[in-house]
Amino acid sequence: MNYTFRMLPVIASDLAHSRQLTALLAGALETTSAELEADLQYQHARQPVQAWLAYEGNQLIGCKLGYERQPGHYYSWLGGVHPDFRGRGVAGELMRQQHAWCQEQGYRRIRTHTYNRWRAMLLLNLRHGFDIVGTVQGTRGLTIVLEKNVLPAGGQ
């Protein structure tokens, strides 16, 4: 398949774009669009949120969102791929692009969280160099905390 990938340095605040993202993520993350819209608005008000998007034609089929946690540390926040396009390398390519951008921007470490029930995402993170660094009891169950160093050895 021929997919198009695009990076947005700051998520646009237009309603149509927000609806596409929330609809995709609601399906991928098994939550409501209203909850995701509130989370996106809250996070965007705190600091810029970057988005890596995957399209087939004009259809948004995958995304990876993130933001700076603190100087030198990036949080890979939300991501998902439409069920019809899973298993085709879309999530891996979005992650690869996000991590390459983080390295170019001088981030030293990326952190992400996931749940055991999303095993495909847990395995994808492990295959892309993340280490499990802890767990936290959350409202939706046990949260698995993962981190990855993105600067090469000897980097600042």
* Predicted confidence (pLDDT) per residue in 7-66, tens digit: 988 886 555 567 788 889 988 888 888 888 888 888 888 889 999 999 999 999 999 999
User: Across-strand partners of 74?
Assistant: 68, 110
How many Å apart are CA 108 and CA 75, to the nearest integer?
11
Residue 77 has φ and ψ, to the nearest 5°, of -90, -70
**Higher-scoring residue by pLDDT: 145, 40:** 145
**Which of 37 and 104 is assigned the larger pLDDT?**
104
**pLDDT, tens digit, 9 for 90 and up, residues 79-89:** 999 999 999 99
Whole-number pLDDT of residue 12: 62
Residue type, 127: R
Rounded to an integer, the average pLDDT of 137-150 is: 92
CA–CA dist 21, 33 (Å, integer): 9
Measured between alpha carbons, how far is 114 from 122 in angstroms, rounded to an integer?
Answer: 7
Report the pLDDT value the prediction gives residue 139, as an integer from 0 to 100: 80
- Report how far apart, in Å, the C-alpha atoms of 72 and of each of 67, 105, 149, 156 are: 11, 9, 10, 9
pLDDT for res 14: 54
pTM (two decimals): 0.90
- Quote the CA–CA distance of 118 and 110 in Å, as a whole number: 19
Structure tokens at 129: 């160099």
| Nearest CA-CA partner of 91 in 2, 1, 5 | 5
pLDDT at 78: 93
Q: Which pair of tokens denotes residue 126? A: 């492990």
Strand, coil or helix: 3:
coil
